[in-house]
């Protein structure tokens, strides 16, 4: 598995330092693998606010429907895992530690969750998975096609001169509700990404622009 580190190096909000190390990170990675039945990868970098930010990849040998089955049974993951471990890492290192991006790589799809406010992924991770389970029938087009990537969340941007477009970049003053409005979904049967509207339970039109945070 690989992290897109060039994105971090080129982003002015990050002071990338490959030599920067967080104490306890190896133990954290091992716990991720144990609780999420995954091969885990973790890289860390420093934001312009001197936060220690993590990018996490979990490579699971499961399909999405299998993952949701085990998650709903309480066998995949542990409630509050991320929040408690981030607090421990912060205490150990004497600095703010947060997850900037969490990617779950499955046999049939990938789920990419981005931070939209401080500690947002740790706080909303279980709720996001619960909503993915709740909306599964709808974004799989009546169980006919699983998207090969689900991007959580995307944000509506209205332009009077063009059609409505969507961005993956948070705009500030975001809340937990922003995770549960729009997702970006990619299908093999389509050249362009689609937007899944959680309120209307449907795919809607609109261009999706993927930008660095």
The confidence score (pLDDT) of residue 161 equals: 60
158-167 contacts, C-beta under 8 A, 24 or more apart = 162/207, 163/205, 163/206, 163/207, 164/205, 164/206, 165/206, 165/207, 165/208, 165/209, 166/195, 166/206, 166/207, 166/208, 166/209, 167/208, 167/209, 167/211
Q: How far is CA 163 from CA 49, 74, 208, in A?
A: 35, 42, 11
Domain spans, the chain: 5-209
The confidence score (pLDDT) of residue 162 equals: 58
Tell me which residue of 112, 30, 37, 29 sits closest to 67, measured CA to CA. 37
Q: Which position has the higher pLDDT, 148 or 1?
A: 148
Banded pLDDT at 134 (limits 50, 70, 90): very high
Region 11-32 average pLDDT: 73
Tell me which residue of 79, 77, 213 sits closest to 153, measured CA to CA. 213
Stretch among 19-28, 59-68, 161-170 having the lowest mean pLDDT: 161-170
The rounded Cα 33 to chain-centroid distance in angstroms is 17
The confidence score (pLDDT) of residue 6 equals: 45
CA angle centred on 85, ends 23 and 71, rounded to 5°: 140
Cis peptide preceding 153, ω within 30 of 0: yes
Residue 1 pLDDT greater than 70, yes or no: no
Share of residues in the chain with pLDDT > 90 (%): 73
- Per-residue pLDDT reduced to its tens digit, 152-198: 999 998 765 657 889 988 888 899 999 999 999 999 999 999 999 99
Tell me which residue of 134, 171, 133 sits closest to 154, measured CA to CA. 171
Region 20-32 average pLDDT: 91
């Amino acid at each position: 598995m690989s992290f897109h580190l060039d994105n971090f190096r080129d982003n002015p909000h990050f002071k990338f330092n490959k030599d920067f190390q967080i104490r306890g990170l190896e133990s954290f990675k091992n716990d991720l693998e144990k609780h999420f039945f995954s091969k885990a990868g973790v890289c860390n970098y420093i934001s312009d606010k001197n936060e220690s930010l993590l990018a996490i990849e979990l490579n699971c040998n499961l399909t999405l429907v299998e993952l949701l089955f085990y998650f709903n049974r309480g066998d995949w993951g542990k409630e509050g895992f991320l929040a408690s471990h981030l607090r421990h890492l912060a205490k150990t290192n004497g600095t703010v530690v947060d997850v900037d991006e969490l990617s779950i790589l499955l046999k049939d799809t990938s789920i990419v969750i981005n931070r939209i406010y401080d500690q947002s992924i740790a706080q909303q991770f279980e709720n996001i998975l619960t909503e993915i389970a709740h909306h599964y029938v709808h974004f799989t087009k009546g169980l006919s096609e699983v998207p090969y990537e689900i991007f959580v969340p995307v944000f509506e941007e209205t332009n009077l001169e063009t059609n409505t477009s969507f961005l993956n970049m948070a705009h500030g003053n975001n809340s937990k509700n922003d995770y549960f409005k729009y997702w970006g979904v990619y299908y093999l049967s389509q050249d362009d990404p689609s937007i899944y509207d959680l309120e209307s339970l449907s795919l809607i039109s609109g261009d999706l622009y993927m930008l660095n945070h």
